[in-house]
A and B are shown apart, each in its own frame.
Chain A
């Protein structure tokens, strides 16, 4: 009797530890296979699909000597599995080859342009969340009302509109006609040489340097593309907020809170939204990942010197190393955010914890 009593809790703790270990191992397997898949697909795109991968990298005007050297450098005389192994090793070391267009290593280029994309996507996500959550709450609380319909239509248009087209129109109206914002680019030429970025996030850099003229200029440049991305994020966030809130508002604890005599404001913002916040974190993380991707087209329209513009410029110049390097980086960040939001959800919601 006494034996079993002392053993049982130990056995249970053991089992729990083993379950947790299994969950962690499973998660690591997911991470590893997903990244391996990403590298495999880009390998396939870069080496297997093109008829002549060397031509795709050096261009058709390269002398035969160069072509032969690159062919050997890339290991194209080896069987595919050995090539893949070499490719994988290179990618893991952050070596994506050299860009034909800029003649820099692709990784150096990406490091230079990536902060611009991050800044744009971050500001866009903030705009999307700050506007989208209240709109979603409003739509849920006034379900079926005119406000609900308007939020729905605005969201639907956000899902349906081509972002590059909306960007062009926004430039036409707010920059060319009204003159409210700055045009394409990230910062005015006037400041280009006097302003030295530290972090690469220009808004932050301007604050750090206490240079308010630059800050205003950077802000007037970022506001249009970021609002545009924010609109897309808002469409998604408001729709999901509405659905989460409807779900929460139908629960019994809301009835109990009403019976207790709590104010409606308190019930909505303090109780219902608080419970809806957990899945919302996931939604916002996913929309952030979506904006990183959406920035490809936006950056092209606004001549925003980020990773998206880098990829499309490289595409136009058949610079395959740069395209694939950019794809791997965007893909990696995208996957990382996806996985992180999953982990975050499990950590924040006690219901999903293993007992």
Chain B
């Protein structure tokens, strides 16, 4: 069969890729096929993409201002035309606040991942590659942090640092890196003595170069899965801190804080507290579904269960 007669699909799935790019695209295609076969995972992906779109285009999509309400005429209005999800006690449109709040949610999730994942990756790969007492000490520290109750520790951190969304992000990041270190170490141990590492070492690569350039990239895919699965927990912790008044401060439209301020009206104007909760539920469900799907697609070993 000549090269030109190949369909795009055959080109992607070929056993003998002609270039590195083709091999990579082929692998990605197989993973994508496996991922899209899982309907729930696709729903999860759609939810997260929707969240990103909402966050990016918030000023265009939001029908009203998230901060300035109509105090005279629009306090605590029932959901209906004009205000699809109702208004809160300051006459602000809840839908608009939720749309703007998606920015805060995304900010928390991304920043925690950007802070915690590299810490875990570095600790895990260094421990796994160095071995010996470095490994023992680093892993003992990891296990100590792993044994702590995360939410309570995050609470104490924020209590000391002072309330605010930045401090909440730091507190959550400090408590969420240990699982990543464990995963990275496990991955490192499996490749540490493989031929290609020995070959690079023989060529005179320094330990740092080996860890940074040749081991870390291999840990990325399992780390992405784990981080995605953790996102739901991160969102819930951030919302919990917001609910306790320790996260984002008013008038920021953070979903957890919105529930807290709607709590006073729960008996008569239930939607003020209920709507932000639905938003949190949908987004963390989306991350859970996406994470499950990614795990099955990227790691066929674990998909049996």
Contacts and interface: CB of A to CB of B under 8 A. Distances in A.
Interface of A: 30, 33-34, 37-38, 41-42, 45-46, 49-50, 56, 156-157, 159-166, 168-169, 171-172, 176, 242-243, 246-247, 289, 292-294, 296-297, 300, 311-312, 315-316, 318, 320, 323-324, 326-327, 330-331, 334-335, 338-339
Contact of A162 (B148, B149, B266, B281): B281
B138 interface: no
B151 interface: yes
B246 interface: yes
Nearest to A37: B144
A50 B161 CA distance: 6
B244 interface: yes
Contacts of A164: 240, 243, 259
Contacts of A49: 157, 160-161
Contacts of A327: 152-153, 155-156
Contact of A338 (B140, B147, B153, B256): B147
Interface in B133-149: 140-141, 143-145, 147-149
Nearest to A316: B245
- Which size class do B's interface residues fall under? 35 or more
B284 interface: yes
B263 interface: yes
Given A297-B240, A320-B159, A160 B232 contact: yes
B241 to A, nearest CB: 10
A293 B157 contact: no
Given A37-B141, A246-B305, A335-B147, A296 B155 contact: yes
Nearest to A166: B277
Contact of A45 (B140, B156, B256, B263): B156
A81 B254 CA distance: 40
A320 to B, nearest CB: 7
A160 B281 contact: yes
A169 B277 contact: yes
B284 A297 contact: no
A106 to B, nearest CB: 13
A45 B281 contact: no
Nearest to A242: B305
Contacts of A316: 245
A297 B236 CA distance: 11
Contacts of B263: 168
A162 B155 contact: no
B232 to A, nearest CB: 5
Nearest to A292: B149
A297 B284 CA distance: 18
A318 B161 CA distance: 11
Given A30-B143, A331-B148, A334-B148, A162 B156 contact: no
Contacts of A50: 160
B239 interface: yes
Given A49-B161, A293-B150, A330-B152, A315 B273 contact: no
Nearest to A30: B143
Contact of A33 (B140, B246, B266, B274): B140
Contact of B274 (A45, A160, A169, A294): A169
Given A165-B280, A176-B267, A33 B152 contact: no
Given A50-B160, A300-B244, A168 B149 contact: no
Given A38-B148, A165-B280, A311-B155, A297 B243 contact: yes
